[in-house]
Structure 1
Amino acid sequence: MDYERLIDEETWDFIQKTGELYPDDAVEMSIEEQRRIYDSMAREFRAPRPDVVAVTDSSANGVPVRVYTAGDPTRTVLFCHGGGFVVGGLDSHDDVCAEICAQTGYRVVAVDYRLAPEHKHPAGFEGAWTALEWVEAVYGNGIVLAGDSAGANLCAAVAHHARGRTEAILGQVLIYGVFGGDVNQGSYIEHAQAPMLTREDVLYYMDIRTDGAAPQDDPLLTPLADSDFAGLPPTVLVTADCDPVRDDSRDYRDRILEAGGKAHWINEPGLIHGYLRARHTVGRARDSFERISVAIEALGQGIWSYDHEAP
């Protein structure tokens, strides 16, 4: 794959800086070391919170959450962070959540779900689901799910589980999510050696979530394993083109459309997994983050502005 041609200079600068802070062989380190250097890397990229945003830490029935508000919001974004189900937390995506709050005017509730390998599946999902129930009880209906990478997986799992249990979810915006697609074809092979995330990295993070062989039919683990995609909320999927997990989002969109639902896939050319941290230094990432914020705001208002798509 000719990444020198596909990826622009700004993005290469971001990749280089990330690599200096979080090396490519991080998955070979101990869990404690992975978390230490990931948190350090996140601090280096962290942008100041917008002045209009107020932040409080709370507990959602035992799950730590961070609540961001600007003014008097009528909608809530439930945000689940990425990090391969292994790293990350309330601080790693603090600036992303604060900026979503400032740009949409919605309340954002970030979820500090339990991490693998200490806490195997379904611990991460259970944290996200508990937070959803808490948000609905405290703030009422009008919830948009949003998350990146592993967090997108957890949001989708929540959306699948929510059918028949709550009407509070207005939509979901899933950013370069991993949903359990076929790792032996498509983007997993095409971008097996992509900058920032390789196929081997994905396999490592998938394996570490479960004890023994992962179940093949658990949509709370891999949402693409579900046999029924009817009744899901309107869904916007945003991916980086140079990313092994890219096709998972395409396939997830197709399943929803085949079931008669609303779904739209935005594939960002020249971008790589983890580009949210590049939104202040890379033009393509900045533009994509704007599209993400617009999608979240629109779903919160019940607006679907995308043309009809056929699977």
Structure 2
Amino acid sequence: MIFSHTRFTYFEDTQEFQVMPPLPVHEQPAAHLSKAINRFTDALPYDKLLIDVTIHLNHRIQNKDTTNIPDLHLAITIQPPEDDSVDDMEILKPTSKWVGECGLSSDYNFMVRKLSGTCDGHRDIDLALIMSFKERARWQQPKATSITAQTLHTSPVLEYEEFIPARINKSLKFGPVIIHSHVWIDISEVRYSVFRRGTDGHFDFNSENPDTFAEGVRLHYHPLLIPAYALQTLYPTVQMSDVEHMLRDGANTLKGYIVSLMEGMSLEASAIQLVCESNPMFEPIWGAAVN
């Protein structure tokens, strides 16, 4: 089966070719972060017609050598006030500031290679993110001789709404997904890795220097694996303080960049001061990221 939005990745140096169909569970963390970014930038009182901040999901970034399609792409474009004394206008290109990759079945090193190529070709990028899922047991399709496979093969093709149960036990809110006695997906954690461009102008994806790297994990516990005395504990657990700090620093850097664009367009000092004095919080709601 070929999915209509299948993505192809080719690494020329190793002659590797990968085919990936983006799935909803795969895109969820990037979509969640995009909402947090939008909430932050919407709260900044700048003229959105003059400065446009756009979050792209699965949108290509091109340079003269490569084309990359990150799962998350934050781009800023300015459109200065028109000069009525001339007939033409300048078309300004967007500036990429954040990029991110999500991986369910993708290898971590594969995502690093994609991000590295993207960041090397776009020197204005400030933050690079990797959002990787870990499965408790790697997915396998039902065996041809299993009751599950035989039931599905002999049943009519179902719409998505018919295939997914209308109700589930509350204990299964965070997985695993079991349909026809087969485990289709069982996520044990979602790990967020955030990299900041170093003072030397480069990303170091091999360093764990806290000045340029932060990592957080959202752990998913199967209720059967939780000790009885811990059943009242809210799960999944969240260990995201370092990532939140890095992302908030990155959001404030975005704010500073927007201020510099306003200054470059010689906008009114009072308008610039309003943005400088505003202090919106960048607050991802991690509980919504994988529900």
TM-score range, shorter chain: 0.3 to 0.5
Rg larger for: 2
TM-score by length of 1: 0.31
Q: Which has the higher strand share?
A: 2
